[in-house]
């Protein structure tokens, strides 16, 4: 591996053995009885190929985004690179110390305080106590956990835990920084500061690997991207080119996303299915959702549909009520109700749609019936910083004038 290369991966593969559920006793007594009854019986396994022949190089100082659908192998790849799990085949070489934040609960000892865990992490990375002490105040200030620094981290909320863990990983002097999408636990301001910190790390010559489903964050942070598809490298190169390949793949394989309700509650009228034609939108693009209403018996009056559009923090950014458009319905057979959302300009992020079926009160409710992402695109040219549009729940389409 050359001096200019921070990470070199060749022929990497990871195979997991999955035992059949029927073959695994759930209690010790069951295991003993099963072994006595069938002493020669062997447990059968299926093989799952999480990664297959993955090869790539990352130059020092590069911010690389790793994207792909759920189950594509992104987290498995990061765990191999950070030596949490060994590969089944191939090899991965990393030049320098690695700071990582992969999931809530890893990297810290729950019985130790925040202060003790900061020094423990630095020691595990091979840093001297003087080095850790020099960066200690910066870590505490960035995390915002100073008031609870002498409290065992097992008492931290998930947000506090992630803030401190990221601050440690980002501020300790490692050559490679590996971050999974655990940052979604933090609030919007912390996410913004974290992305800026990772961008600063890359400009200072550190190598950053970042996994996220939020494509606008990958675009803002990374210069290159790697697309994983079912455990193999589907595309690798400039971030915009790889994101275009990913969007095309999503459009080809998921033209329509339909969610069928797993458990329908008791009652006369229900929302039984929800459909959206897209997984990702730009802020100004119309968004269409279709909901299937099914009646168990003839309803005794007209009903209406109300939908809440929620951001990633659970805040309701918009309510769409069919009564405002004069739409009431009295279904005696399955009906499809379509919602076309034209405004407002939703900010980049992940959104969910809650569906309420109402008459005088709520007849049925389906929380999170639809999930979709909004990517980065502003309704105006941006010449300022992220703080210029980082606040607020939606993007306002506005103009200033001088007279």
- Which CATH architecture does the domain made up of 5-13+51-252 adopt? 3-Layer(aba) Sandwich (3.40)
Residue 218 has pLDDT above 90, yes or no: no
| Nearest CA-CA partner of 237 in 53, 12, 8, 57 | 57
Residue 232 has pLDDT above 80, yes or no: yes
Residue 112 has pLDDT above 80, yes or no: yes
- Residue for token digits 């049925």? 364
* Alpha-carbon gap, residue 285 to 395, rounded angstroms: 13
Residue 375 has pLDDT above 50, yes or no: yes
Query: pTM of the entire structure?
Result: 0.62
b/e per residue, 250-289, with b = 16+ CB within 10 A? Answer: beeeeeebeeebeeeeeeebbbebbbbebbbbebbbebeb
Contact 125, 99 (CB under 8 A): yes
pLDDT of residue 293: 84
Residue 23 has pLDDT above 60, yes or no: no
| % of the chain with per-residue pLDDT over 90 | 24
pLDDT of residue 402: 58
Report the relative pairing of strands 362-374 and 349-358 from DSSP bridges.
Answer: antiparallel
pLDDT of residue 226: 97
Residue 254 banded pLDDT, cuts 50, 70, 90: very low
Find the mean pLDDT for residues 10-36.
Answer: 73
Q: Give the residue range(s) of CATH 2.70.50.60 domains in the chain.
A: 257-374
- The contacts of residue 147 (CB under 8 Å, 6+ apart) are none
Residue 20 banded pLDDT, cuts 50, 70, 90: low
Residue 192 has pLDDT above 70, yes or no: yes
Residue 59 banded pLDDT, cuts 50, 70, 90: very high
Find the mean pLDDT for residues 263-278.
Answer: 69
Find the mean pLDDT for residues 161-169.
Answer: 84
pLDDT of residue 183: 61
Q: Quick one: 57 exposed, middle or buried, by C-beta within 10 A (0-12, 13-18, 19+)? A: middle
pLDDT of residue 185: 56
Residue 78 banded pLDDT, cuts 50, 70, 90: very high
Average pLDDT, the chain: 80
Residue 379 has pLDDT above 60, yes or no: no
Structure tokens at 347: 């900010």
Greater confidence (46 vs 128) lies with 128
Q: Give the residue range(s) of CATH 3.40.50.300 domains in the chain.
A: 5-13+51-252
b/e per residue, 159-186, with b = 16+ CB within 10 A? Answer: ebbbbbbbbbbbbbbbbbbbbbbbbbbb
Express each pLDDT in 382-396 by its tens digit. Answer: 444 444 445 666 666
257-374 sits in which CATH class?
A: mainly beta
pLDDT of residue 341: 83
Q: If you write DSSP's letter for every residue of 264-306 in order, what string do you get?
A: PPSSSEEEEEEEES-SEE-TTS-EEEEEEEEESS--SS-BEEE
* Alpha-carbon gap, residue 208 to 199, rounded angstroms: 8
Find the mean pLDDT for residues 180-199.
Answer: 72
| Nearest CA-CA partner of 398 in 359, 360, 345 | 345
Q: For residue 319, what are the CA distances in angstroms to 344, 345, 368?
A: 11, 14, 14
Kindly state the DSSP code that residue 231 receives in the 8-state scheme: T
pLDDT of residue 381: 43
Residue 175 has pLDDT above 70, yes or no: yes
b/e per residue, 67-93, with b = 16+ CB within 10 A? Answer: bbbeebbbbbbbbbbbeeeebbebebe
**Rounded to 10 degrees, what is the CA torsion of 141, 145, 147, 151?**
-140
Residue 320 has pLDDT above 80, yes or no: yes
pLDDT of residue 303: 84
| Nearest CA-CA partner of 256 in 375, 372, 377 | 372
């Amino acid at each position: 591996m050359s001096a200019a290369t921070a990470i070199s991966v060749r022929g990497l593969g990871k195979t997991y053995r999955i035992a059949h559920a029927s073959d695994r006793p759930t209690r010790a007594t069951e295991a003993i009885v099963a072994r006595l009854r069938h002493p020669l019986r062997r447990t059968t396994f299926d093989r799952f190929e999480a990664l297959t022949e993955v090869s790539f190089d990352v130059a020092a100082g590069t911010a690389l985004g790793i994207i792909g659908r759920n189950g594509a192998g992104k987290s498995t790849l990061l765990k191999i690179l950070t030596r949490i799990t060994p590969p089944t085949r191939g090899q991965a070489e990393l030049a320098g110390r690695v700071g990582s934040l992969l999931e809530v609960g890893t990297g810290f000892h729950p019985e130790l305080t925040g202060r003790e865990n900061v020094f423990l992490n630095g020691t595990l990375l091979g840093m001297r106590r003087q080095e850790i002490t020099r960066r200690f105040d910066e870590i505490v200030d960035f995390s915002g956990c100073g008031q609870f620094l002498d409290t065992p981290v097992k008492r931290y909320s998930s947000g506090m835990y992630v803030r401190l863990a990221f601050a440690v990983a980002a501020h300790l002097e490692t050559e490679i920084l590996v971050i999974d999408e655990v940052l979604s636990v933090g609030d919007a301001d912390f996410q913004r500061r974290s992305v800026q910190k990772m961008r600063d790390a890359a400009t200072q010559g550190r190598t950053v690997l970042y996994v996220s489903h939020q494509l606008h964050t990958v675009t803002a942070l990374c210069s290159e991207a790697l697309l994983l598809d079912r455990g193999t490298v589907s595309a690798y190169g400039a971030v915009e080119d790889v994101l275009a390949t990913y969007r095309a793949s999503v459009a080809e394989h998921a033209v329509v996303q339909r969610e069928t309700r797993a458990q329908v509650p008791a009652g006369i009228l229900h929302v039984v299915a929800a459909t959206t034609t897209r997984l990702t939108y730009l802020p100004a693009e119309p968004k269409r959702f279709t909901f299937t209403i099914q009646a168990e018996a003839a309803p005794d009056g007209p009903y209406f549909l109300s939908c809440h559009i929620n951001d990633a923090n659970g805040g309701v950014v918009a309510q769409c009520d069919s009564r405002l458009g004069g739409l009431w319905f009295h279904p005696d057979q399955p009906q499809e109700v379509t919602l076309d959302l034209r405004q407002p300009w939703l900010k980049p992020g992940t959104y969910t749609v809650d569906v309420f079926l109402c008459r005088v009160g709520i007849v049925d409710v389906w929380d999170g019936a639809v999930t979709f992402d909004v990517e980065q695109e502003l309704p105006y040219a941006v010449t300022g910083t992220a703080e210029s549009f980082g606040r607020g729940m939606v993007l306002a389409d506005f103009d200033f004038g001088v007279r």
